[in-house]
Amino acid sequence: KNQVEQSPQSLIILEGKNCTLQCNYTVSPFSNLRWYKQDTGRGPVSLTIMTFSENTKSNGRYTATLDADTKQSSLHITASQLSDSASYICVVSPTGGGADGLTFGKGTHLIIQP
Amino acid sequence: SAVISQKPSRDICQRGTSLTIQCQVDSQVTMMFWYRQQPGQSLTLIATANQGSEATYESGFVIDKFPISRPNLTFSTLTVSNMSPEDSSIYLCSVEDLTKSGNTIYFGEGSWLTVV
Protein backbone atom coordinates (compact mmCIF):
# COMPACT_ATOMS: atom_id res chain seq x y z
CA LYS A 1 0.00 0.00 0.00
CA ASN A 2 1.33 3.44 -0.93
CA GLN A 3 2.05 5.52 2.14
CA VAL A 4 3.51 8.92 2.96
CA GLU A 5 4.77 9.50 6.49
CA GLN A 6 5.67 12.97 7.71
CA SER A 7 7.61 14.02 10.77
CA PRO A 8 7.44 15.68 13.12
CA GLN A 9 3.68 15.81 13.53
CA SER A 10 4.01 19.30 14.97
CA LEU A 11 6.83 21.75 15.54
CA ILE A 12 7.21 25.06 17.37
CA ILE A 13 10.15 27.33 16.61
CA LEU A 14 11.06 30.95 17.23
CA GLU A 15 10.76 33.54 14.49
CA GLY A 16 13.96 33.83 12.51
CA LYS A 17 15.09 30.27 13.13
CA ASN A 18 15.46 27.57 10.49
CA CYS A 19 13.67 24.23 10.48
CA THR A 20 13.51 21.02 8.46
CA LEU A 21 10.45 18.87 7.90
CA GLN A 22 10.71 15.24 6.83
CA CYS A 23 8.74 13.06 4.43
CA ASN A 24 9.23 9.32 3.87
CA TYR A 25 7.23 7.49 1.25
CA THR A 26 6.65 3.99 -0.02
CA VAL A 27 4.96 4.94 -3.30
CA SER A 28 6.33 2.85 -6.13
CA PRO A 29 6.86 3.32 -8.96
CA PHE A 30 7.43 6.96 -8.21
CA SER A 31 6.90 9.94 -10.51
CA ASN A 32 7.05 13.16 -8.53
CA LEU A 33 6.87 14.63 -5.05
CA ARG A 34 5.18 17.87 -4.06
CA TRP A 35 5.20 20.03 -0.98
CA TYR A 36 2.17 22.15 -0.15
CA LYS A 37 1.53 24.81 2.48
CA GLN A 38 -1.92 24.87 4.02
CA ASP A 39 -2.99 27.75 6.23
CA THR A 40 -5.66 26.95 8.79
CA GLY A 41 -9.08 26.76 7.13
CA ARG A 42 -7.65 27.33 3.64
CA GLY A 43 -6.77 25.18 0.65
CA PRO A 44 -3.23 23.85 0.06
CA VAL A 45 -0.88 26.03 -1.98
CA SER A 46 1.94 24.50 -4.00
CA LEU A 47 5.50 25.18 -2.83
CA THR A 48 7.63 22.81 -4.90
CA ILE A 49 7.37 19.85 -7.21
CA MET A 50 10.26 17.48 -7.95
CA THR A 51 10.57 14.57 -10.34
CA PHE A 52 12.58 11.48 -9.45
CA SER A 53 15.64 12.91 -11.25
CA GLU A 54 15.75 16.13 -9.23
CA ASN A 55 17.59 16.41 -5.92
CA THR A 56 16.66 19.87 -4.82
CA LYS A 57 14.18 22.61 -5.63
CA SER A 58 13.91 26.06 -4.07
CA ASN A 59 11.07 28.54 -3.77
CA GLY A 60 12.23 31.61 -1.90
CA ARG A 61 12.99 30.61 1.69
CA TYR A 62 11.70 27.09 1.07
CA THR A 63 14.11 24.41 -0.19
CA ALA A 64 12.99 20.86 -0.84
CA THR A 65 15.37 17.93 -1.25
CA LEU A 66 14.68 14.49 -2.61
CA ASP A 67 16.54 11.19 -2.31
CA ALA A 68 14.68 8.78 -4.57
CA ASP A 69 16.93 5.89 -3.54
CA THR A 70 16.00 6.10 0.14
CA LYS A 71 12.51 7.46 -0.65
CA GLN A 72 13.00 10.49 1.56
CA SER A 73 12.33 14.17 1.10
CA SER A 74 12.81 17.18 3.31
CA LEU A 75 11.53 20.74 3.31
CA HIS A 76 13.90 23.30 4.79
CA ILE A 77 12.56 26.69 5.83
CA THR A 78 15.13 29.43 6.28
CA ALA A 79 14.76 32.49 8.50
CA SER A 80 11.21 31.61 9.51
CA GLN A 81 8.50 34.26 9.62
CA LEU A 82 5.22 34.38 11.52
CA SER A 83 3.39 33.84 8.22
CA ASP A 84 5.10 30.45 7.88
CA SER A 85 2.78 29.11 10.60
CA ALA A 86 0.77 26.48 8.71
CA SER A 87 0.55 22.79 7.92
CA TYR A 88 3.04 21.48 5.37
CA ILE A 89 1.88 18.53 3.35
CA CYS A 90 4.00 16.10 1.35
CA VAL A 91 2.25 14.57 -1.68
CA VAL A 92 3.61 11.77 -3.85
CA SER A 93 2.52 10.72 -7.33
CA PRO A 94 3.01 7.28 -8.81
CA THR A 95 4.18 6.78 -12.37
CA GLY A 96 1.96 8.77 -14.70
CA GLY A 97 2.11 11.60 -12.21
CA GLY A 98 -1.53 12.49 -12.58
CA ALA A 99 -3.77 14.13 -10.03
CA ASP A 100 -5.96 11.05 -9.67
CA GLY A 101 -3.36 8.87 -7.99
CA LEU A 102 -1.87 11.09 -5.32
CA THR A 103 -0.90 9.89 -1.86
CA PHE A 104 -1.01 12.59 0.82
CA GLY A 105 0.85 12.79 4.09
CA LYS A 106 -0.96 14.00 7.20
CA GLY A 107 1.20 17.08 7.30
CA THR A 108 3.49 18.76 9.80
CA HIS A 109 1.83 21.51 11.81
CA LEU A 110 4.38 24.32 12.16
CA ILE A 111 3.98 27.17 14.63
CA ILE A 112 6.30 30.17 14.52
CA GLN A 113 6.47 32.09 17.78
CA PRO A 114 7.58 35.72 17.99
CA SER B 1 -2.05 29.44 -12.78
CA ALA B 2 -5.62 28.25 -12.29
CA VAL B 3 -7.84 30.20 -9.90
CA ILE B 4 -10.45 28.10 -8.13
CA SER B 5 -13.43 29.57 -6.29
CA GLN B 6 -15.39 27.47 -3.86
CA LYS B 7 -18.72 28.25 -2.20
CA PRO B 8 -19.60 28.19 0.61
CA SER B 9 -16.34 28.75 2.45
CA ARG B 10 -17.93 27.71 5.73
CA ASP B 11 -21.28 26.43 6.89
CA ILE B 12 -22.92 24.92 9.92
CA CYS B 13 -25.45 22.30 8.90
CA GLN B 14 -28.17 20.42 10.68
CA ARG B 15 -28.00 16.65 10.89
CA GLY B 16 -30.01 14.98 8.12
CA THR B 17 -29.84 17.89 5.70
CA SER B 18 -27.89 18.13 2.44
CA LEU B 19 -25.52 20.83 1.22
CA THR B 20 -24.17 21.52 -2.24
CA ILE B 21 -20.65 22.90 -2.66
CA GLN B 22 -19.79 24.77 -5.83
CA CYS B 23 -16.41 24.89 -7.56
CA GLN B 24 -15.67 27.38 -10.32
CA VAL B 25 -12.38 27.44 -12.27
CA ASP B 26 -11.16 30.38 -14.33
CA SER B 27 -10.04 28.13 -17.21
CA GLN B 28 -11.26 24.98 -18.91
CA VAL B 29 -9.98 21.78 -17.35
CA THR B 30 -10.59 18.18 -18.29
CA MET B 31 -10.77 16.69 -14.83
CA MET B 32 -11.83 18.14 -11.51
CA PHE B 33 -11.28 16.36 -8.23
CA TRP B 34 -13.14 16.45 -4.93
CA TYR B 35 -11.31 15.76 -1.67
CA ARG B 36 -12.31 15.46 1.96
CA GLN B 37 -9.98 16.46 4.79
CA GLN B 38 -11.20 15.39 8.20
CA PRO B 39 -9.70 17.09 11.27
CA GLY B 40 -6.07 16.12 11.74
CA GLN B 41 -6.13 13.80 8.74
CA SER B 42 -4.64 13.85 5.26
CA LEU B 43 -6.63 14.64 2.15
CA THR B 44 -8.74 11.77 0.81
CA LEU B 45 -9.96 11.70 -2.77
CA ILE B 46 -13.75 11.35 -2.98
CA ALA B 47 -14.21 11.31 -6.73
CA THR B 48 -13.02 12.54 -10.09
CA ALA B 49 -15.52 14.66 -12.01
CA ASN B 50 -15.38 14.43 -15.80
CA GLN B 51 -17.41 16.65 -18.08
CA GLY B 52 -20.04 14.71 -19.97
CA SER B 53 -19.82 11.50 -17.98
CA GLU B 54 -20.52 10.11 -14.55
CA ALA B 55 -18.05 10.88 -11.80
CA THR B 56 -15.60 8.17 -10.79
CA TYR B 57 -15.80 7.43 -7.05
CA GLU B 58 -13.05 6.10 -4.83
CA SER B 59 -13.49 3.15 -2.54
CA GLY B 60 -15.65 4.07 0.43
CA PHE B 61 -17.53 6.85 -1.34
CA VAL B 62 -20.85 6.39 -3.18
CA ILE B 63 -22.89 8.52 -5.50
CA ASP B 64 -25.98 8.47 -3.28
CA LYS B 65 -24.05 10.12 -0.47
CA PHE B 66 -21.87 12.44 -2.59
CA PRO B 67 -23.63 13.20 -5.89
CA ILE B 68 -21.48 15.25 -8.26
CA SER B 69 -22.38 17.35 -11.26
CA ARG B 70 -20.03 18.55 -14.00
CA PRO B 71 -22.11 20.52 -16.49
CA ASN B 72 -19.15 22.14 -18.27
CA LEU B 73 -15.36 22.39 -18.30
CA THR B 74 -15.16 25.14 -15.68
CA PHE B 75 -17.72 24.16 -13.04
CA SER B 76 -18.61 21.30 -10.72
CA THR B 77 -20.72 20.71 -7.65
CA LEU B 78 -20.45 18.22 -4.82
CA THR B 79 -23.48 17.50 -2.63
CA VAL B 80 -23.06 16.03 0.83
CA SER B 81 -26.36 14.25 1.44
CA ASN B 82 -28.14 13.34 4.66
CA MET B 83 -25.32 14.76 6.72
CA SER B 84 -24.16 13.39 10.05
CA PRO B 85 -21.52 14.77 12.43
CA GLU B 86 -19.00 12.38 10.83
CA ASP B 87 -19.29 14.45 7.64
CA SER B 88 -17.80 17.47 9.39
CA SER B 89 -14.73 18.15 7.25
CA ILE B 90 -13.07 20.49 4.84
CA TYR B 91 -14.14 19.66 1.28
CA LEU B 92 -11.68 20.71 -1.40
CA CYS B 93 -11.98 21.04 -5.14
CA SER B 94 -8.83 20.49 -7.18
CA VAL B 95 -7.74 20.72 -10.82
CA GLU B 96 -4.67 19.72 -12.73
CA ASP B 97 -2.95 22.19 -15.07
CA LEU B 98 -1.29 20.18 -17.81
CA THR B 99 0.00 23.24 -19.63
CA LYS B 100 2.92 23.59 -17.24
CA SER B 101 5.77 21.15 -16.88
CA GLY B 102 5.26 18.92 -13.89
CA ASN B 103 1.49 19.16 -14.19
CA THR B 104 0.77 21.59 -11.36
CA ILE B 105 -2.18 20.70 -9.16
CA TYR B 106 -4.26 23.50 -7.70
CA PHE B 107 -6.70 23.45 -4.83
CA GLY B 108 -9.62 25.67 -4.00
CA GLU B 109 -9.86 27.45 -0.68
CA GLY B 110 -12.02 24.68 0.71
CA SER B 111 -15.48 24.47 2.19
CA TRP B 112 -15.42 23.92 5.94
CA LEU B 113 -18.57 22.10 6.98
CA THR B 114 -19.64 21.51 10.58
CA VAL B 115 -22.62 19.21 11.12
CA VAL B 116 -24.51 19.60 14.39
A2 vs B25, which has greater pLDDT? B25
Buried b (16+ CB within 10 A) or exposed e, B30-67: ebbbbbbbeeeebbebbbbbbbeeebebeeebeeebbb
pLDDT tens per residue across span A46-95: 999 998 889 999 999 999 999 999 999 999 999 999 999 999 999 998 87
Distance CA A28, CA A3 (A): 10
Distance in Å, alpha carbon of A104 to nearest chain B alpha carbon: 6
Residue A99 to residue B6, Cβ atoms within 8 A: no
Contact B47, B36 (CB under 8 A): no
Contact B46, B66 (CB under 8 A): yes
| Contact A61/B at CB under 8 A | no
End-to-end CA separation in angstroms for chain A: 41
Which residues of chain B does A43 touch, with a Cβ-Cβ cutoff of 8 Å? 4, 6, 92, 107-110
Which residues of chain A does B56 touch, with a Cβ-Cβ cutoff of 8 Å? 100
Contact A21, A75 (CB under 8 A): yes
pLDDT tens per residue across span A16-56: 999 999 999 998 888 889 999 999 888 999 999 998 889 99
Contact B84, B115 (CB under 8 A): yes
Which residues of chain A does B25 touch, with a Cβ-Cβ cutoff of 8 Å? none
Distance CA B111, CA A53 (A): 36
Q: Which of B6, B31, B107 sits opposite A44 (nearest CB)?
A: B107
DSSP sequence for B75-92: EEEEEE-S--GGG-EEEE
Mean predicted confidence (pLDDT) in B13-28? 96
Q: Which of B4, B10, B33 sits opposite A99 (nearest CB)?
A: B33
